[in-house]
Amino acid sequence: MVALCWKKIPDSGFIWLFSSCFLFHYLNRSIVFPLRLRTQGKRMPWIIALSAVCFNLVNGFFLGYFFARFADYPPDWFSDARFLSGMFLFWLGLGINWQSDNILLHLRKPGTTAYAIPEGGLFRKVSCPNHFREILEWIGYTMRTWCLPVLAFAVWTIANLAPRALAHHRWYQATFPEYPKERKALIPFVL
C-alpha cells in the first residue's frame, strides 16, 4: 500500500545540494547565530519561537514533498542561467547576512544595553541589510530550484520582512535625530 503512495526518492545531486543549502541556512540561523548573541536578561515570547518552528516545519514539509515526488532536473541544470544566478544570489545573501550579523553583534560593548546606529557594510545604504539578505537568499533559492513551494516561501518571506524593515527604519529615524537621511529601509537606493 505504501509503495502505491510513495515513489522512490530521486537520487539527484541537485536535491542534495538544495537540501544542504537549506539546512546550512537554518543551522546558522537557529543555532550558530543565537549562540553568538549577547542577550542576557532579554526574553523572547514563546509564541514567536513556536510560530517560527511551525512555519519552518510546514515549509520544510512542502519542500521535501516537492523534491521527493516532483523534482526532475535535467542533467545540465548546473549550467542553466536560473541555477547559476540563483546560486549567486543565495551566496551573496549569505555573505551579507554574516557581515550584517557581525556588525550587529559587535554594536554594543560588553555590559551596555543602549541602542546604537549600526555602521559599515550594507548598513551604509539600508537600515535592515539582514532582512534584505534574507530576501536575496530566498529569491536566489527560488531561482535555482525553480519550484512553487520555494516561490511561496520567498513571497511569505518578503511579506514578513518588508513591513518589519520599514518599521525598524522609522524607529531608527525617530530614536536617533542624527540618523543618516540617505539611508533607505530595505533595498539600497530604492526602498
Mean pLDDT by 10 residues, the chain (191 residues): 43 81 85 76 78 86 88 89 96 91 83 84 94 94 93 92 95 95 93 86
pLDDT computed for residue 6 by the predictor: 44
Instruction: Give residue limits of the domains in the chain.
Output: 12-36+44-109+117-175
SS (H, E, C) 66-133: HHHHCCCCCHHHHHCHHHHHHHHHHHHHHHHHHHHHHHHHCCCCCCCCCCCCCCCHHHHCECCHHHHH
- For residue 126, the cross-strand partners are 184
* pTM as predicted: 0.83
